[in-house]
Amino acid sequence: MFMAILPMPYEFYVLLRWVGPAVAIWTVAGGQKKTGWVAVFALVTVLWNPLLPVEMPRSSWVFLNVAGLALFAAAGAQLKASKPALRTHHAKSR
């Protein structure tokens, strides 16, 4: 989404419409059942979906792409921090 604020070929934006919702769904479906993030990424999925594209002026998309980038960064930081640490088990020899 960071690159989407730069002038890119049309094909890049088509690809972004497929990748954005896929990553949003994958982020929420990755075992994180946090209601707030589900709602936020449902909105991302609707806005960037490739099947029923939302038409807006480029200036609106620049703002949304920056906001989307911030959402993914915030979710990545919070969801990564909230994952339980893996415990290592040492088997006792008998």
Q: Give the per-residue pLDDT at 94.
A: 47
Residue 81 binned pLDDT confidence (cut-offs 50, 70, 90) = low
pLDDT in tens, 8-17: 888 888 888 8
Q: Give the per-residue pLDDT at 80.
A: 66
Q: Give the per-residue pLDDT at 40.
A: 81
- Alpha helices for 30-83 (secondary structure H): 35-48, 58-82
pLDDT in tens, 64-73: 888 888 888 8
Q: What is the pTM of this model?
A: 0.61
Domain coordinates of the chain in residue numbers? 3-82
- Maximum distance among all alpha carbons in the chain? 70
Q: Distance between CA atoms of 20 and 59, rounded to whole angstroms? A: 18
